Every structure is written in C-alpha cells, then in structure tokens.
Structure 1
Amino acid sequence: MEKQVNNLANNTLLKTIFNTLFSAFFLLFSVAATAQENPFNSGEKYTIAEIVVTGDTSFSEATIVTYSGLRKGEVIAIPGERISEALKKLWGSNLFSNIDIYLTKTIDDQAYLEISLQDLPELNTVVINGVKKGKKEALIKDNKLTKGAKVTENLITTTKNYLTNKYRKEGYYNTKVTVTTTPVIDSIEKTRVNMVVNIDKNDKVKIKEIDFIGNEKLSDKRLRKAMKNTKEKNLLRFLKRSKYVKDSYKEDLVSVIDTYKENGYRDARVTSDSIFNNEDGTLSIHVNIEEGEKYTFGKIAFVGNTIFTDQQLNSLLGLREGDTYNGVELKKRIADNSRPDALDITNLYQDRGYLFSTINPVEVSADGNVIDMEIRISEGKPAYFNNVTVVGNDKTNDRVIYRELRTRPGQLYSKTAVVRTVRELGQLGFFDAQQLSPNFKNANPNEGTLDMEYAVVEKGSSQIELQGGYGGGGFIGTLGLSFNNFAIKDIFKKEAYKPVPTGDGQSLALRLQASRFYQTYSFSFTEPWLGGERPIQFSTSLSHTKQFLYDPVKRDADKSKRFNITGITVGLAKRLTSPDDYFTLSQAVSFQHYDLKNYNTGLFTFGNGYSNNLSYTIGLSRNNTHTDPIYPTGGSSFGITAKLSLPYSLLNSVDYTALKDERALLNPFDTDDKTRMGEIDQERYKWLEFYKVKFKGDWYTNVIANKLIIKSSMELGFLGAYNNDRGVIPFERFFVGGDGLGNYSLDGRESIAMRGYPNQSLSSQDGGTIYNKFSLELRYPISLGAQAKIFALGFMEGGNSFDNFRDYNPFNLKRSAGIGLRIFMPAFGLLGIDFGHGFDPLPGLNTKNGWETHFIIGQQF
C-alpha cells in the first residue's frame, strides 16, 4: 500500500519531467525539419517575429505570452535557455496539463513561435461518499476541494493520502479511498470536472495480541503497559481503545526500550517486529527483543562547572554510585522536556541566567557492567533580556499586559520568569491560554543577549446573559452584561464604543432579573491594579432586591407582603511577596439592610421588622494553577476567609439572657405568643452578630500529558455566635445539595453544590450552620480551542450540613457519583450538565435518592 501511495505521489513530478523533455525534443525535431528547408546553425540567434497561442485554454494570448517571459522583438538562441525558461514558468503556474513550444518557420533571422497548451480542469462539484453528512464540509475544507480549484494529479493524490491516513489513525487500518473525475459538458468554455470521493473505512482493526519474544528480565505484561497507545483489545478498557496507528506504534516501541533503560538494560533493542492479519479481521504483533546485560552507575563526575558546586549538582541529579543504570531518568534529571518548570540541572542554570549553557552526559567507561559518567558542562555567558515585546493584542492595552510580565529589558534571563509570565497572561482571561507562546528572538551567545516576544491570541472576554422562562408561577426574565476587559476611563469617549470601551483589564457587571414575585438589580466593578502601579485589586458592588409573597386568592404577588434587601460592598486585595507571590490577602467591608413587612414564611424567625448586617471579611488565598483558568492542568488553589461582625452584645445594654428565657416559655402555636416571639427575634437581630469561617482547596494533578486531569477538592464552613444567648443568626447560612445555583442569595446564604441530590435538600429549612464537602473529579478535554472549550468529567462527592457543632460528624456524608459535560464559550460563559446518582436517602426518608440532572450556568464545580 505505501509503495503504491509513493508511486502515485511521484506521478505529477514524472509527468512534468516527461512533458518538458518531450517538448524540448519536439522543438529540436521541428528546428531540424525546418533546417532542411531553411538551413541554420544549431544555437543560432534569431529575433522573435511573432508568438501565437493555440490549444484549449481560457486564458488570453497576451496573458500566456506575458507569463512565458518571451516577447516579440527579443533576440534568442534556438535552441537555447530562453525556451527552457519559458517552459518552466508555464509548468510552474500549475494551470496547464500540456505545454509545447514550436518553431513554425524562419525568414532570414526572424523566428515564428507557437505556444500550444491545454488548461487543467477546474473542480465543479465534489461528492463525498462513506462519511456522515456533518463531517463532509470539514473534509472539503481540509483538502481544499472548493469550486474552481485546479484538479491536478497532486490534488487527487494528496486527498487520497490525507483521508487514508486520517481514518487509519482512528483505527480503520483497511481504509480504501478512490477519487474519480468526470468532465462537465456545458456551454462554459472552461474545462471543468465533477469529482466523486468514495471512502470505504471498513471495520476498525483491533489488535488481538501483542507478543514479545526474547524477553526474560521484564514480563510481557510490563512491556505491554509501556505501550501507551497500542493496546490489545479488552472490553474493560475505556480510555485507550485497541487500534493500530503506525506512528503511535513506532513511538510505543521506543517506550518499550525506555522501560528497559529505566531498569538498567541500556543495550536493549528491538531486533525485529512483525504484524500479521488474522482470519477474524484483527491484527497480531510480534516484537523480538534483545535485552542485553544489566548495568549500574559507577562514579559520576562533573566537568566544567564553576557556578554550582559538585555537591549542589549531585543533590539535584539524585543518582549515586551503585544505583541501577537508568538512562531515561538521567536525561530527565539533566533536562526534563515534559515539564517546563521541572527541577533539573538545565533549569537550575537557566534560572541563574545561563540560557546558552549546554550539559552533556558522557560515558567514560563501562567495565564490568559499571558505567562511569562525566557530566560535561559548558556554562557560556549569562544572558540578559534586550527587548521584551508582546504581539497579537488588538484590544488589550499594552500596559495591561506589560505590568504582568516577569521579564524586563536588562534583567538576567530566568526560565522560571518566562514560565510564570505565560501563566499570568493566561490567568488574565483575555487571551487563549492554549496559544500563548514565548518566542526567543535574536539570541546572541557571544554577547549574552536575547530578545523575548510573547505571542498572544485575543479571545472574547465579555459575556451576555439574556434569557426568559416560566417558573415560580410566572415569567422570569434575566438580562446580564459582563465586561471583563473594560476601560472605565473611556466611558465618555464616543469612539471607544466597539461596542463598549475595552482594553484596561477592568471588570464591570450589570444584572437585572425580574418576575411578578421578585426583582433583583446588581452592579459590580473591579480594578485589578488600583493606581496602575501595584497589583492591588479594588472592587465594589451594589445590589437591591424586592421579593413579594404569593396571594393564593388573587393568584398574584401581594406587594403588601415584601422583603427588601439593599447591600453595598467595598474590598481591597493585595498580592503578597511572602511566603511567595502566589498569595493574596483580601479585605472587604459590607453592609446589608433587610426590611421585612408581613413576610411570614418560616424562612426567617420574624416577618416584620429589619436587620442590619455590617461585617468585615478577611481572606488569605494562594493560587498557582497552571495557565488556563477554565481547564487548569496542574497546581492548586486554596483560600480561607473569616467574615466578622462587631460584638454588639458587649456594646449595648440588652439582656439577651432574659430574652432567650422569655422566648423559651412562649407557645409558637398561640397567635399572641407567636407575635411576641417575632418581636423578641427582631430585637435580637436588629444588628446581626456573628462570625463565619470558610475554607476551600482545589488540587489539580496532571495524569496524561495535559489530557487527563484529576481535580480533588475539600471545603468547610462554620457559622458561629459570640453570645450563645443571642444565638446564631437566621441569615448567612449554608444550604447543601443540587447544582449550587441559588436564588434569593443576597441575604448572605450560600448554596453549596452537591450533585445527585435536589437543591438545598441536605440542609434544614433554616439552613445549616456547619458543613463539609469532599469531591474527586476526573476531567478529559474534548476541545480547548479559543471559540469553545469542552471537557467531559466523572465525579465522586461526599458532603453534608449540620445545625450545630454538637451534631457535627465529618464522616457522616451523603455520597454521590456521576458524569458531566462542560462547555465554555467566551460570549456566554460556562455551561454544563451533570447526571448525578445519590447513594443515600434524603433527611427523613429511607430509600436512596437515585439520579438527578443538574444544569450548570456560569460557575465551575
């Protein structure tokens, strides 16, 4: 098959050579024939008297003559280089299928030439058979089979090769592709053809067995495990299907030998391998191995090092005399190409500025299977950044990007600083994190300088939320606008609206949601670099909501029974320099006013009156997740916060013990007593007194080359009271269960996601005062493009909430597991769906909850 493909690929070249030689031969023959009537010497010079164009072509005579380079009145040798050059130019246009140049006659020193040619056919229509309709357009685009394309032998051959290799990589090893063309007969002068591409993928070819021959030290099972992409068929395997792909198979043979090298067999090699077709349509692979002898490390010496001592380098190398020889690990300890931030000797030098250093391990002796090594180091000059530039940003202002750079002109080169810069640019959210590229320019080892260019690809950073639906007894409309690269300084500049002022890295969000029963308005603004000099983030938000009770008689909202909440928050967050600069200290002051009128729902312990919530929040967080904030591939993120009110019970003269005792004597089923209980609670909660502590941590582990990611999470929350007689407030509570998207959350309540259970079903009616949750998530990317990031996930979770600390048991968990899908589009944010199975019963029930479907909008678990 491969030989046939190669022959087809050479057809066009052979045809070109043949036609050129034939034309030259025919020209010589014509000249010789003419010479019998008009004798002239070979190579004699003539003046071109006339050039005519004949043949089947849609191009004008003037165009063809001009493109050939020949011109009337030019003196040329016949035969000579000018005729050969004209043929080359015309063939090089890839517009013609046949080209000849004739000498028709000569009169004295005047030569009359004829250019005869035939156009290549143009593609009229293309039909692809054998694949689904939705995939045809992509195949046409990938192979450039657009209408009007010139149909050459090369186009046909490359199309067949592309499709054959594409489906072989998907496991269809016996794919057959045929391409046929049919001339179009119509009134148009151009030569056109219709193309039919038939793709017969046949069945996927699976690998029945992989046998190793000659292996005694390492088992077949161990060697098969080393083959990451070539697997035997197994019904229990889901992540790696059995299929044969030639390139992947060759890489896996290298991995087999690397496994031997990791175990000391440095001379191991594959002597031969064979692939057999079985009668059942599967393949069998036989690999012959020569293992060789096992080696150990002898003495390891460093040569040429002046910046670091032998002891420093030895501690990083981590290999000692007598250790089993491991050539793969030796290469990683010197330069681990799989991790840009690896702890290896190359990075040690490059972080000290020695970009041009070279480190080579050399075996100096191998007596008695003991290998003595020299690590030869050429340190070179330290390198300094000369110019540092950013390209690709059309919307984002340069200063927004440059303030995030960890590399500056004149600074000593540091690989860690380059890697960190790429991460910081990716975390901004304005650029496609998958396409961020640091490019070295004008590196000069002699002068010790280099230029650094960061190439970015901007993506949409603003989002719009516009939706409507029916729920809660009426229509609910939502309008939300989020601008994540806003420029407030340009808000009064008409020319800056494209459609809004952008480029300064600020965030501005507006949201309106309304129905017959509630209205919510909110506004928030964030400036990440207050003053533009230091990474101090300023944020503020305003919100107001109105909620009305349902009147069952009128079947409408009763606006005489309402609950209004108005709030404002102002915060500052500062990036710290120690313990390291991944830490952020945040502080915020917030005030909320709750106004209730005849709002007796059981949601709160009183229905008339008001409460004020003046609180101070302090938090410490650390985030070193890798580059892409939507799909982190490593690192961790954790934060601990404390939200505190003033200890009002120490400052006022209210006897909360007496109020508590009086309330305990009242009968909640007696109307007067119930009214009095509300009055007591109104007194207790005029100014909310509480403290609230939360912790959340996420850890990301890269399992397979940025493809398979494990995310493990833990979170805890506790709401307490300074004064037990005053009690825990009815606001700011935790509601566990469901998708974590809670309405009416402006009273400080927090909806904690717990998939596999209905919303807020794992907490009491008033909400829990303490909760914990643990989760493990396995993520796999489907697409990480700039327009849409899509990844699938599987999860296991456990969590619960409790009404007081006496009942708290961290091992009393409601468990669930399931699968889900996430789609992130810059214009709409994060969307997703989860199917979760709850293994435990809801509070008060005896049977497990079973399956729940959750729709996710605008947040990540």
Structure 2
Amino acid sequence: MFPTTFTLRPNERFIGFMSLLSVILFTFFSGQASAQDFEGKTISSVQVQYRGAKTVDEARIRNLMSTKAGAKYRTENLDNDIKTLYESGLIDDVRFLAEPSGGSVKIIADVLTRPAMGGVGFVGNTIFSDKKLAKETKLKAGGALSDEEILEGRRNIEEYYQGYGYPDVTVSHRTQDTGQNGISDLIFVIDEGSKNEIRKIRFEGNTKFTTPELKKEMKTKEKSWLSWLTKSGRIQDERLDEDLDSVLDYYRSKGYLRASSPGFRRDPVGDGRVDLVMPITEGEKYTVAGVSFGKMSVFKPEELYPSMTLEGGDAYSSTKMRDDIRTIRSFYGSRGYADVVVSPDIKDAGPNRVTVKYQVTEGSRFRVGRVNIQGNTKTKDKVIRREVPLKPGDWFNSVELETTKARLQNLQYFNDVQANGSPGGGGYRDVDILVDERNTGSVGVGVGFSSIDNIVGFLSLEQTNFDLFNPWNFTGGGQRFGMNLRLGSERSEFSMSLTEPWFLDRQLALGGELFYRQSTYFSDEYEQTNIGAAVFLRKPLTEKSSLKLEYRLEQVGIDAESDASQAFQDEDGDFLRSAVTLSYLYDNRDSNIEPRKGEKIDVSMTLAGGIFGGDVDTFTISAQGSKYWNLRWDTILSIKGELAFVDGLDEDPQIFERMFLGGGRTLRGFEFRDIGGPRDDASGEALGGQSLAYTSIEYSVPIIETIRAAVFYDVGFVNSGSWDIAPNDVYSDFGVGVRVKLPISPVPLALDYAVPVTSPDEEADKGGQFNFYLNYEY
C-alpha cells in the first residue's frame, strides 16, 4: 500500500488530481486490480477508518459522501467525495482504498479528522471578558469545528464589538495544542480598535440640498437615546460605502452629474464619539440636450421613445436613466432577447448640457427549453411549477422570469428564490429555479389586551404550505390551513379553515371554514352566538384583482338578558342565516401590512334568505376603499372609507344585520357601536341603522424604524332607513396615535386617543377615547 498523505489543504485542481491518483496508487500497490477494472462494478460496502483520534462522527462523514453501498463504482464520484470532505472543513486528509470483494468492490475511506475543540480562548480583549465573548461566539466545545463555524464565531465577536461602538475591530484565530491526542484549543486574536460612536452626521459643501435631505438617503444614523433599540450610532465600513454612493446618486438624480466626494471622515469629539463628515463637490446642474439610440434591428427608436422617462430638455437624472435602461431591456427581454445589453453613452453637448445615447447590443432570440427546479425538499414540484408563466417552447421572456421570482417569493415558502436563464443549446434557454425552503408552520400562544376584548388569551396554528393528502407530514402541497382559538372576558372564538389556491390545477381557489363565536361586547343587553360554516371560490381576474363567490350557513343566536328592555327582548331567538356573497377585490398596494402607496377596493353584494332559505331575509351592498401616498421623509398619507346599505326583504333586518359606527376600526372618538340610528329609550343603546358611510384620513411619520406616530380625522354617519345617504347627522373626531412593529408579529401594535369634534347626539359624546389594537390594519 502506497502511503500517500496530504499535509496541506490543496486547492480544488490539486484535490481532483490527487484524489484520482490516490485511488490508482492504492489499488496498484495493494496488488489489486487497477481502478479501471473496478469501474462500473457494484460497491458491496463502504468502511470508514480513522487515522488518529476520532473527532467527527462516522455518520456525519457518510452523509458528506455520495459513495454508498449498492451504488456503482465511479472514480469521478470518489473524486467529488474527496472535494466535499475537504470543503466541509472537518477533514484534514482523506484517501480511498478499493478492494475486490467477489464480483463487487469494497471501499475504505481512510480519514484524518480535524482536532476537536477543547476550549476557546481570547487574546487582545480589554473591553469584554473572556466569558462574555465565549458566549457570543455561540461555539460549543467537544467536537471538530468547520471553517464555516469558526468564521461565524469571528463574525459574532465583531458584530458584538460594533454594537458597542468599535467599528474597526478585527478578529482572527489560531489553534493551540493542548497535549491531548486529537484536541486543540481555539484562540481568537482580537484587535479592538478605538471606540467610534456617531454624534452627528454632517456635510461640507452642500448648498443645493439640506443636511436632513441628504441624511435621509443614508442607512447609517446618529446615536440617540433609542440606540439600544434601533442600533443607530454604529459605523460599518460596508454600509458607509453604500451611503456614499446613495448620497452621490441622489445628486445625480437631480441633475448634478459631476457631484463627487472623497468619502467620509471621522472627526473626534471626545468620549469615543465622532462626527461623521462627508465633503461634497456639487458641480453644476446639467440638462439633457437630447436622447437617442444606437443601431437597432428589432425595434425602431420611434417605438421606444414614448416609454422613455428621460427626455430632451429635462434635468439629467441617473434614476430616470436607469429606469429607461430597464424599460429597454424589458422590451427586448419580453420578446426572447435574453442577452440584450444596454449601455448609456453620455457626452458633453455644450455648457452644462449632455446627450444620452443608448447603445443596444441585441443578441440572439431564444425559446424556453427545460424548466429546472432545485432545492425544494418539502414543497411539491408542481406547486412551484404552476407559478412559472414560462413554458417549454415559449419565447424566452426575461420579464416573466422576474415575475416568476416575485410569485415564488410572495408564497412565503422560501428564504431565498433564484430564477435565472442558462444556455440550453440550439436556440433554447433553460429556466433554472433554485429555492431555499423555510419553515412555513407556526404556533402562537399568548395573552393580550385590546379596548374591545379586554383581556384575551389565544392559540393559533397555521401552515401556509399545507398538504391535506400527505398524512402525518401535511406539508408541501401549497394549501393554507389555519386554526384559531381565542378566549376572553368579552368573547370566545374558534375557527378552522383550509384553502386550496389551485383547485383542479387551475388558478381557482377553493376554501372553507368552520367557526364558532360567542360575543358579549356587542351590547350590555344581549349575548350573540354564531356557529356555522362557509365555502368559497375565488378566481383571479388580473394580477391585482379577483372575484369571489361565497356561501355561508350559520346559526345566529341572540340571548337577551333577563332584565333587558323590550327592544332587545324582541330580538331574542335563534335564526338560521343562509347567504350568498359575490365580491370584487382590487388591490395594488405595495404591502398588505404597512402600505405606502397604492389602493384597495372591495365591493360586495350579499343575499341572505330568499331562494336560499333560512330565517334571515336581507340584501346588503358594501363598498370599501383605501388609498395611500408615500410622501417626503417616508411619511404616509392614507384615506379609507366605506359606503354600505342593508334592506330587509320582508321586514326590518335583525339587529345582527344592522349597521353601526364607533370604536377602533371606524370613528375612534366614540365608543364601540355607539353610533347607529335611534337609541333604545330604556337602555340608551344604539339600535343600528340600514345606511352607513364613513371616511378616515391618517398621516403618519416615522420616529424610528419600528415606531410611527400618527394624526387622524374620522367622519361618518349612520341613517335609519335603507338607501339613505343624506348626511344629516354627521359625527367626526380627531386624534393621535402610535404604531409599533414588534419582533414577534409582522402586524403592528397600535394605541390611539381621539376626541369627538362633532356629535349630533349628545349621548354619543363621552369625551376622549383610547383604542388599543393587537393587530392594527392600516
């Protein structure tokens, strides 16, 4: 046997050569058949033997190897296994031995594993103790550590120092022999640098734009009293480089083509604090003398000019120019020209004037070859493939490639999605999709409080990538399952829902819900119980709109208190409600949690009773809408409102069908459901109306990244008669509030305080009202 040993970690080419050589030499000098004689034979067994201490579990080594018992012997596979084992960072040396075993071949992997970590030590640290830094590394003694794990430990230490104002900290490492076989200590060598926290961010030479305007373009922020929460005041070199580019690009987007800066400097101000200063040479403002195109054969310039945002006579704008480049690429990419290259040629055209000429290299036109999907360990292939608009044989479309990526990301099934085109040969481009699966199931347990529910406990189970037909695992089918239990002093609720978004493998969603709700917060005079089920079909009309048809069957119980007034005693009883709702939804908001721009429109018609039977006979129409604007300094202006009517087909609608305003979701300066038609003489409670309209205007400003402050004005009315939109008795309020994003929930927590401004009914004006929400909806 030839004793080949690698004492240094070789590069990849050397690994490939030596791995092949090691197999040949092992088999030759062992007196066995040549490696070529083994090629294609069945592997009878794979044995792992250790040289020195066993610091890496055998199962972990086997998991890194593709060579398995029962597979065919391939020299190429052994070569790849050697590369994989080296790259794991757990193996210092590996070689394979092949021996004949009857008509098959036996493989022996001879490995020298990396020493186990006995302990972790530190050199150069004066600010933090060894114990504290050891905790921050998140490394555990006892096993061999890969290079990746060690580098992660180094990054953790650096981030910890940077969090306390040491931006220039550097961390390296070395190993130290302990004298014990197979065990070494890991030593981190730290250069702490000087403490630098940002007191102020200043600019020098800026006359065209104010300091607040330029600071808005930066991610780096000054230290403040909330820095413990926002992490502001830190200096990170990579982020500063990005900030430098962002500020200069802001100038160039406003016409200052030659704006420049040598970069940020740090001016010490004492106590480890610095002022971050950016000198700027603004230059002159440039205008565009003209925009033109180079030689093209697919399109004519006249076809592209109407879509260009940068035009002759405009101030030069780097932002508009980038937008135009994307537009040109989309023109070509949507027609199969995947390799189009667009280069702007900017030339002087007189004092403070330039011309922009787009040079287009069109490339060849391609069709879609194969659609390759990788990385989906849980999600079924068809769940991903149905979101891909590109089909084999279609013209390759780079715009649809971006659409594919966006659709897959919007599923929220993956940490990362990559969608690219690769040469497929013969005028084809393959679509390569690589996904990184994430955990799509969640369990929530907690106790909360709101101005309506008071104290409430809740339990929620959700799986957004559910599979009803995959027993015991129940994941990967792209269905949405949810179960919620809420128990509080004012209500008890249980619901269970399941939605199949691609019913019959079409873009047709089929869903259903079972529910039970017992509520006492509607009124002091009665308790309401709803128990039933619903089923719906939803069909997308466009990317932003859909049509939904729902059938809901429920038993509604009104249990009036024994001492309730006659008005509520008359409502007592159990009612079977059988209703069909047709609704249209249009939503082009940029976010459904904290939208900054776009609008949402929801129009619905509901027929209860009539040909559908039951005890409730009503017809209801509702139109809800909202509009959002993202203004200067990331402020948000929003307007939302509703217009709704209900009409009894045979008699007046029951109280659970009638309409009310007041409380946190509508008019916030009034108590919940305290605005609604006439009042009961005995109890003083509103009895509800049949026509409703309200509007809310809100303006919010960022305080820090996770907190926004808001001012708002609400106005609306409820009329007794149906189809009555006369604004005779208009209520309004004005208020302020805060919106807080917590790490435990994507939906903001909110607190509002509002006071009535106008109140035709003096009894409705009960002074200022606090409203607290666990799940605020913008």
C-alpha separation between the residues in 2 aligned to 1:483 and 1:189?
A: 45
Residue in structure 2 matched with residue 211 of structure 1 by the alignment: 204
* 1:166-181 map, 5 Å: 167-168=161-162, 172=165
Counterpart for residue 606 of structure 2: 643
Q: Which residue of 1 aligns with 2:585?
A: 621
Residues in 1 aligned to 2:280 and 2:453: alpha-carbon distance in whole angstroms: 73
Task: Tell me the CA shift for residue 447 of structure 1.
Answer: 2.9
Distance (Å, rounded) in 2 between the aligned partners of 1:244 and 1:780:
22
Q: Does 1:573 align with 2:492?
A: no
Match of 1:721, SS state, is: strand
- The aligned amino acid for 1:617 is T
* Letter of the 1:438 counterpart: Q
Specify the SS of the correspondent of 2:618.
coil
> Which residue number corresponds to residue 396 of structure 1?
379
1:487 matched to which residue of 2? Answer: 467
Q: Rg larger in 1 or in 2? A: 1
| Corresponding position of 2:626 | 697
Question: 2:395 corresponds to which letter in structure 1?
Answer: L
Q: How does 1:142-153 map to 2 (within 5 A)?
A: none
Match of 2:306, SS? Answer: helix
The CA deviation at 1:489 is: 4.2
Is it true that 1:731 corresponds to 2:656 in the alignment? yes
The 1-side partners of 2:225 and 2:452 are apart by: 47
- DSSP-derived class of the 1:313 partner: helix
Structure 1 counterpart of 2:422: 442
- Residue aligning to 1:31: none
Letter in 1 for 2:687: D
Q: Distance in 2 between matches of 1:356 and 1:182?
A: 49
> Residue 737 of structure 2: SS of its match in structure 1?
strand
d(CA) in 1 for partners of 2:305, 2:240: 36
Tell me if the contact between 1:385 and 1:411 (Cα under 8 Å) persists in the aligned partners: yes
Question: Which residue in 2 is equivalent to 1:558?
Answer: none
**What pairs with 1:371-382 in structure 2 (closer than 5 Å)?**
371-382=354-365
SS in structure 1 at match of 2:394? coil
Tell me the equivalent position of 2:337.
354
Q: How far off is 1:161 after superposition?
A: 8.5
Matches within 5 A, 1:33-432: 63=52, 122-124=118-120, 130=127, 139-141=136-138, 163=157, 167-168=161-162, 172=165, 192=185, 202=195, 204-207=197-200, 209-212=202-205, 218=208, 221=211, 224-225=214-215, 228-229=218-219, 244-270=235-261, 275-278=266-269, 282-284=273-275, 289-290=280-281, 292=283, 294-335=285-326, 344-363=327-346, 366-429=349-412, 431-432=413-414
Aligned to 1:813: 732
User: C-alpha distance in 2, partners of 1:564/1:264?
Assistant: 64
Which of 629, 644, 662 is residue 718 of structure 1 equivalent to? 644
Say if 1:200 and 1:535 are closer, same or farther in 2 by CA, change over 3 A. Answer: same
Instruction: Give the distance between the partners of 1:201 and 1:737, measured in 2 at CA.
Output: 57
Pairing partner for 1:535 from 507, 514, 522: 507
2:509 aligned with 1:526, yes or no?
no
Q: Deviations over 1:564-594 (max 9, x none)?
A: 6554433322222xxx343211122334444
Counterpart of 2:305 in 1: which secondary structure? helix
Q: CA deviation at 1:617?
A: 1.3
Find the aligned partners of 1:271 and 1:202 in 2 and give their Cα distance.
23
Q: Which runs of 5 or more structure 2 residues have no equivalent in the other structure?
A: 1-7, 9-48, 54-85, 93-114, 677-684
Residue from 476, 484, 500 that aligns with 1:503: 476
Tell me the distance in 1 between the aligned counterparts of 2:155 and 2:472.
Answer: 49
SS of corresponding position for 2:399: helix
Q: Percent identity?
A: 19
Q: Does 1:766 align with 2:730?
A: no
Task: Find out whether 1:836 has 2:752 as its counterpart.
Answer: yes
Instruction: Give the SS at the match of 1:321.
Output: coil
The 1:244–1:483 alpha-carbon spacing in structure 2 relative to 1, beyond 3 Å, is closer
Cα distance between partner residues in 2 of 1:477 and 1:365: 68
Change (3 A) 1:634 1:123: farther
Q: Distance in 2 between matches of 1:297 and 1:175?
A: 43
Are the structure 2 counterparts of residues 159 and 456 from structure 1 closer, same or farther at C-alpha, using a change threshold of 3 Å? Answer: closer
Decide whether aligned partners of structure 1 residues 465 and 281 sit closer, same or farther in structure 2, where only a CA change above 3 A counts.
closer
**Residues 453-487 of structure 1: per-residue CA shift (max 9 Å, x gap):** 14142322355668899x99999987765554443
Q: How many residues align?
A: 652
Q: Letter of the aligned partner of 1:320 in structure 2?
A: E
| 2-structure distance, mates of 1:62, 1:396 | 41
The alpha-carbon distance between structure 1 residues 120 and 737, as it changes in their structure 2 partners (threshold 3 A), is: same
Code of the residue aligned with 1:731 in structure 2: it is F
2:469 & 2:154 partners in 1: Cα distance?
56
Task: Note closer, same or farther for the CA distance 1:512–1:61 as it changes in structure 2 (3 Å cut).
Answer: closer
Separation of aligned partners in 2, 1:211 and 1:526: 58
State the alpha-carbon separation in 2 of the partners of residues 151 and 736 from structure 1.
62
8 Å Cα contact 1:366/1:372 also seen in 2? yes
**CA RMSD, aligned part only?**
5.7
Equivalent residue, structure 2, for 1:102: none
Partner Cα distance (1:284, 1:518) in 2: 55
Q: SS of the residue aligned with 2:437?
A: coil
CA contact (8 A) 1:817 1:837 kept: yes
Could you report, residue by residue, the CA deviation over 1:337-394 in whole angstroms, capped at 9, with x for unpaired residues? Answer: xxxxxxx222222223222111112245645554344321111112322222333333
Distance 1:307 1:126, change over 3 A: same
| TM-score, length of structure 2 as denominator length | 0.66
Give distance in 1, aligned partners of 2:458 and 2:263: 67
Cα distance change on mapping 1:189 and 1:621 into 2, 3 Å: closer
C-alpha deviation, 1:716, in angstroms: 0.8
Which shifted more, 406-415 or 502-511? Answer: 502-511
- Judging changes above 3 Å, is the alpha-carbon distance between structure 1 residues 285 and 303 closer, same or farther for their aligned structure 2 residues? same
1:274-309 deviation per Cα after TM superposition (whole angstroms, max 9, x unaligned): 543345765456665555555443343312223322
Q: Distance in 1 between matches of 2:520 and 2:215?
A: 63
